[in-house]
Amino acid sequence: MKIVGLHCSSEDLHAGKIALIKHGSRLKNCDLYFSRKPCSACLKMIVNAGVNRISYWPADPEISLLTEASSSEDAKLDAKAVERLKSNSRAHVCVLLQPLVCYMVQFVEETSYKCDFIQKISRTLPDTNSDFYSECKQERIKEYEMIFLVSNEEMHKQILMTIGLENLCENPYFSNLRQNMKDLILLLATVASSVPNFKHYGFYCRNTEQINEVHNQSLPQEIARHCMIQARLLAYRTEDHKTGVGAVIWAEGKSRSCDGTGAMYFIGCGYNAFPVGSEYADFPHMDDKQKDREIRKFRYIVHAEQNALTFRCQEIKSEERSMIFVTKCPCDECVPLIKGAGIKQIYAGDVDVGKKKADISYMRFGELEGVSKFTWQLNPSRTCVLEQNEPESRENGVLGPVPLDEDQHQNKKLRLANH
């Protein structure tokens, strides 16, 4: 499976139309994933492109049924048109919502709390309330429930009946559906809380000499955190029993496009896994606790950064600002690959920087030149304010104003297309 696009609806276009503009007939035989059931205008174009399957989140559709009464009739007519397109097309249009694997939420919660970003906050701010992670998670749960869940159950049933899912309106199917949706929202909120908008923590660069170059200017912290959360989600696909790592590559074009992501566009993503096509017992899974180095995993597992580069859907352009988001510090094997690929920026944790372990080392990251490094840390300008008691500011991840509160990100509709 290869992800070939990640798109977001804009003021002018829905996500499905943007996917058609960006990929055209290359969408043939792809699977598409929507955060809302697409409208008839999008669906007719997508079906015409020959897609294989369209999966959507079973809440309010793209032409909202929760709006004022004046437009509700049009929304109902559109929902009927969508059902007719669905029944007369070869593409499979469905709700892809399965119950989570037993103990999955517990596992995600434990690993999210232990991830590098949360642990660094705990170590560098020892006086911080020990429940700060739980508080961040509760905030995210409330936020995501407002976005992804129809709070009124009766209204949710009416929506399901209108969009052709009347078979899910009776119990136990309806209650099971709601519970599965809540479980997934909880899982997403838990992962998002592992890269929290907490006090003055974020991804910052300590090299103040780089600030004048466009390629070295940092992304807004909200966007950087959002991309890192994508990488954190990918890390749970890992085939490594000990440590999951995820990586996402984005680039910023010269001008804004029709996409809701603005000038930024998706390049590729990956997680650490064994070579494609291998079976469970084909390669060793042991770590450095195994004395026999011949049966350790490190010579066989493909790193997240390597998979992201290998299975990228677009080329990395030297004239554009490209960036990779990695959930852990890139190792000495990956650092030269990232630089050689022409990536301009690295966003990562720095807990392992300078360490040399039994089978893997992280010495090159700190010495890397020609690539801007933005690591998870307390805003350097905030440190200066605390030390000097002056309103000194820092910009672009180095020297610039420190906002006390960041604006909430807009509710965007996301879409993934993959082969």
Catalytic residues: 305
Tell me how long the chain is: 419
Q: What is the dihedral of CA 209, 339, 236, 205, to 10 degrees?
A: 0
Going by C-alpha positions, the residue among 101, 117, 253, 246 that lies closest to residue 187 is 101
End-to-end Cα separation, the chain, in angstroms: 5
Give the neighbor-by-neighbor strand order of the sheet with 345-348: 201-204, 372-378, 345-348, 321-326, 246-252, 264-271
3 state DSSP class of 377: strand
Amino acid of residue 29: N
Give the neighbor-by-neighbor strand order of the sheet with 414-418: 3-8, 414-418, 31-34, 53-56, 92-95
Q: What is the distance, to the nearest Å, from the Cα of residue 339 to the centroid of all Cα atoms in its chain?
A: 23
**Rounded distance, CA 134 to CA 156, Å?**
29
| Under 8 Å between Cβ of 334 and 303 | yes
Going by C-alpha positions, the residue among 382, 406, 398, 377 that lies closest to residue 116 is 377
**Rounded distance, CA 218 to CA 228, Å?**
14
User: Which CA distances in Å does 360 have to 12, 82, 237, 321?
Assistant: 48, 53, 21, 29
Q: Which long-range contacts (CB under 8 A, 24 or more apart) does 275-282 make?
A: 275/300, 275/302
Q: What is the DSSP letter of 49?
A: T
**Rounded distance, CA 317 to CA 212, Å?**
20
